[in-house]
Amino acid sequence: MILMEEDNLFSGIPEGLREELISPLLITGAFTLERIVSSGQATPPGEWYDQETHEWVILLKGRARLMFEEEKEVRTLQPGDYVHIPAHRRHRVEWTESAQTTLWLALHYRE
């Protein structure tokens, strides 16, 4: 199912988001492609994402920091940086820039 046939990833972004905004762009039986807009949000302390699907994510705008449970160092992402996160690899968003919008494009899929 196609949700949007034509649009612009950088348009329609509201200001002053209190929560991350996740917008599905394309959903099929094999994958989901979504736009994620952050504005200073982070994963709550002590919580980890443990997803059923693999995720490939690219940062298009802004800055963010990701932490993986088995790593000691936080990863800082700049525009153009991407990460592949296998299913069940526990991770969290430590920080997203609040001075400007942080824009992600995420592809969730199964093998």
All structural domains of the chain with their residue ranges: 31-109
The residues near 44 (Cβ < 8 Å, ≥ 6 apart) are: none
Tell me the whole-structure pTM to 2 decimals.
0.89
Amino acid identity of 91? H
Q: How many CB atoms lie within 10 A of CB 4?
A: 10
Fold of the 31-109 domain: Jelly Rolls (2.60.120)
Residue 1 has a pLDDT of: 64
Distance CA 44, CA 93 (A): 9
Distance CA 58, CA 63 (A): 11
Q: What are the distances in angstroms from CA 17 to CA 57, 99, 105, 109?
A: 21, 12, 18, 27
- pLDDT tens across the length of the chain (111 residues): 666 677 899 988 888 788 899 999 999 999 999 999 999 999 999 999 999 999 999 999 999 999 999 999 999 999 999 999 999 999 999 999 988 899 999 999 998
Residue 104 has a pLDDT of: 97
